[in-house]
């Protein structure tokens, strides 16, 4: 088991596996009350949404959610701890997967009961014996005051954390087989005027991944711990190992113990209590026998819970400067969430920076890139690409449907917003809305391993157009000059599998008809996919989400909005009056 002092030195960040809102909120409350600058939970692996809202003090924060441990690694980087709240059936598999993805992690807590015993033994042999700290299963975790709350140990209500001063490091280690009792014992320790050095619940299963012996040796090695309070149960042989530690001198710190389950000795046949291990199969496993073994070794063993409380109260108090936690009150759940902008003490913030800071930086492409991605771009490549796309897409003449609608509406005497809306509402699959379609084409083809010829043939049979292919004016021998500028970005990328796929499609379609070239939309979609993957490190799941959200069409909508506004203002300057089609331009059938 990891040295408790190491945990105090570097508690690290945590990844949640599965859904358990009360447990996660309790950890965030502990972090906040302990004065941490940010939550220790860096993410949650769950299919339940992309973010989950929790309170950080009195304000809400969004914790990112991921569909896999691998995607969490890509997004959040290194993780120190795992809090696994998956079912007993899935706990072992997800724990192994966690350590495969995060081999340098310190350990984790398995909350579930009913983990198969062979899995628990394997986890102990694979991870605990190699220096990891695995708490559970069927326990409530590990708490190191002010540093780490790994599980629901200590309680799920922040008022319980405050009352028992669990943000203040102390000197009494609380160790328990029972998750239900450990919080009661922590309260007894606090009520007696003590603060704890750490609390650990190894759980009630027959084969916990942290044994009582492991926990006792950790307490002995911990310089902050001066006394040990231990709650055990009937069943198993753990207390004999603990007695041997005391008698051999490996355990020198005073131990105050209570072993529950004497009532079981009044029955003619062994009685199974709440935990899997809480069954005395023979006389040596009875609570009375184990109490006597610990007492003979020199531990202070209580005969009742009242005696146990009095025994705890007899521990010499150690003067500790208790931390005054920040106040938590008047929590209110928000109606919706936004990560883009907010008002702060420095004015208005946009994607994490004050607007005046954006103005000083002076690069609109960086700001727009941050707006589209929801975070600052990591690479200069994507900034340069967005700038180039916008400069090339701002307007393609007054004849196209969006500009024409804007012009007609402006000439009808309508204002800027109405005219702009009229133009924007024409954007769709036949005008300007093909960038996302093209991105979907290239992404599906590449990720599903479709051969370009198969891709083209499937569309030909369905009599459908391929998004990003074809142009009315340009063709082989008369290329679109804008695409040359865009294609230069492929030369700057180490890998460009989406662009290569799109060009392979083009090679087939232009052999059929000269104007079925890879158009501007197709170039933008393919190259943006490649830049996001290679330069911004987006995985396939994240790219799929962007396609579903119509992200790629924003690369057309934003610059073209400027073009539509320009046409509106142009018409107001020209003031040509209401537009009406001449009769000769209309076929009256």
- pTM given for the model: 0.76
Handedness of CA 25, 31, 37, 43 (dihedral sign): negative
Handedness of CA 60, 135, 131, 166 (dihedral sign): positive
CA dist., res. 451 & res. 449, Å (int): 6
> Dihedral through CA 543, CA 544, CA 550, CA 553, nearest 10?
50
| Count of CA atoms in the C-beta half-sphere (13 A) of 438 | 34
Q: Is 176 helix (H, G, I), strand (E, B) or coil?
A: strand
pLDDT of 272 reads: 54
Integer distance in angstroms from the first to the last C-alpha of the chain? Answer: 87
DSSP line for 252-291:
-S-EEEEEE-GGGGGSSS----SSTT----SGGGSHHHHH
CA dist., res. 288 & res. 232, Å (int): 12
Handedness of CA 452, 455, 460, 466 (dihedral sign): negative
Instruction: Per residue of the chain (589 residues), give pLDDT as tens.
Output: 678 888 888 788 999 999 999 999 999 999 999 999 999 999 999 988 889 999 999 989 999 999 999 999 988 999 999 999 999 889 999 999 999 999 999 999 999 888 888 888 898 889 888 888 999 888 899 999 999 999 999 999 999 999 999 999 999 999 998 888 999 999 999 999 999 999 999 877 777 888 899 999 999 999 999 999 999 887 777 889 999 999 999 999 999 999 987 777 666 666 656 655 554 557 777 888 989 999 999 999 999 999 999 999 999 988 777 777 788 877 888 888 888 998 888 789 999 899 999 999 999 999 999 999 999 999 999 999 999 999 999 999 999 999 999 999 999 999 999 999 999 999 988 888 899 999 999 999 999 999 999 999 999 999 888 989 998 889 998 989 999 999 999 999 999 999 999 999 999 999 999 999 999 999 999 999 999 999 999 989 889 999 999 999 999 999 999 999 999 999 999 999 999 998 888 888 7
Strands (DSSP E) along 277-427, which ranges? Answer: 300-301, 341-344, 347-350, 353-354
Using alpha carbons, select from 33, 321, 311 the residue that is nearest to residue 188.
311
- Please name every residue paired with 259 in a beta bridge, in sequence order, or none if there are none: 232
| Percentage helix, strand, coil for the chain under 3-state DSSP, each rounded to 5 | 45, 15, 40
Q: Is the Cβ–Cβ distance between 41 and 66 less than 8 Å?
A: no
Out of 109, 194, 227, 275, the active site residue is 275
| Residue 114 neighbours by CB distance under 10 Å | 12
CA angle 568, 383, 469 (to 5 degrees): 70
Q: Is 275 a catalytic residue?
A: yes
What is the per-residue burial (b if ≥16 Cβ within 10 Å, else e) of 308-335? Answer: bbebbeebeeeeeeebebeebeeeeeee
Q: Is the Cβ–Cβ distance between 2 and 134 less than 8 Å?
A: no
CA dist., res. 394 & res. 560, Å (int): 5
């Amino acid at each position: 088991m990891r040295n408790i002092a190491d945990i105090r030195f570097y508690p690290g960040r945590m990844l949640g596996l599965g859904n358990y809102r009360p447990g996660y909120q309790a950890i965030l409350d502990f972090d906040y009350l302990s004065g941490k600058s940010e939550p220790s939970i860096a993410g949650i692996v769950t299919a339940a949404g992309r973010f989950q809202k929790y309170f950080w003090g009195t304000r809400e924060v969004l914790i990112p959610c991921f569909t896999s441990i691998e995607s969490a690694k890509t997004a959040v980087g290194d993780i120190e701890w795992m809090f696994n709240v998956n079912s007993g059936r899935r706990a072992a598999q997800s724990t192994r997967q966690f350590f495969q993805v995060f081999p340098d992690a310190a350990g984790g807590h398995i909350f579930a009961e009913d983990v198969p015993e062979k899995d628990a033994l394997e986890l102990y042999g694979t991870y605990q014996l190699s220096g990891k700290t695995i708490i559970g299963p069927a326990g409530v975790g590990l708490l190191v005051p002010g540093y780490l709350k790994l599980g629901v140990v200590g309680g799920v209500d922040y008022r319980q954390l405050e009352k028992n001063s669990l943000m203040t490091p102390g000197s009494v280690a609380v160790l328990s087989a029972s998750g239900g009792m450990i919080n009661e014992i922590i309260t007894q320790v606090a009520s007696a005027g003590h603060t704890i050095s750490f609390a650990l619940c190894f759980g009630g299963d027959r084969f916990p991944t942290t044994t009582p012996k492991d926990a006792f040796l950790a307490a002995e090695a911990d310089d902050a711990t001066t006394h040990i309070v231990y709650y055990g149960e009937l069943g198993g042989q753990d207390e004999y190992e603990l007695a041997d530690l005391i008698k051999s001198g490996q355990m020198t710190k005073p131990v105050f113990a209570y072993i529950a389950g004497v009532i079981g000795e009044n029955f003619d046949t062994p009685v199974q209590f709440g935990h899997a291990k809480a069954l005395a199969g023979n006389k040596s496993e009875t609570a009375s026998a184990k109490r006597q073994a610990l007492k003979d070794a020199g531990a202070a063993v209580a005969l009742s819970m009242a005696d146990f409380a009095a025994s705890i109260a007899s521990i010499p108090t150690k003067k500790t400067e208790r931390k005054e936690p920040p106040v938590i009150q008047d929590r209110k759940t928000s109606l919706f969430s936004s990560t883009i902008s907010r008002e702060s003490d420095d004015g208005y913030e946009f994607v994490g920076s004050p607007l005046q800071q954006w103005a000083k930086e002076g690069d609109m492409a960086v700001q727009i890139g941050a707006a589209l991605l929801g975070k600052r771009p990591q690479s200069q490549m994507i900034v340069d690409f967005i700038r180039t796309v916008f400069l090339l897409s701002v307007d393609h003449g007054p004849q196209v449907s969006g500009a024409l609608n804007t012009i007609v509406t402006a000439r009808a005497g309508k204002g800027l917003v109405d005219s702009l809306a009229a133009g924007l509402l024409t954007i769709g699959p036949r005008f300007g809305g093909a960038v996302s379609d093209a991105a979907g084409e290239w992404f599906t083809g590449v990720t599903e391993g479709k051969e370009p010829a198969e891709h083209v043939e499937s569309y030909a049979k369905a009599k459908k157009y391929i998004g990003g292919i074809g142009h009315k004016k340009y063709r082989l021998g008369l290329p679109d000059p804008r695409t040359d500028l865009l294609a230069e970005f492929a030369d700057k990328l180490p890998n460009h599998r989406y662009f290569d796929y799109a060009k392979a499609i083009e090679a087939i379609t232009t052999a059929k008809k000269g104007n079925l070239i890879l158009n501007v939309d197709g170039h933008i979609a393919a190259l943006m996919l490649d830049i996001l993957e290679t330069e911004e490190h987006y995985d396939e799941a994240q790219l799929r989400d962007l396609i579903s959200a119509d992200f790629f069409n924003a690369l057309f909508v934003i610059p073209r909005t400027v073009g539509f506004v320009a046409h509106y203002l142009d018409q107001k300057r020209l003031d040509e009056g209401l537009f009406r089609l001449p009769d000769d331009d209309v076929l009256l059938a």
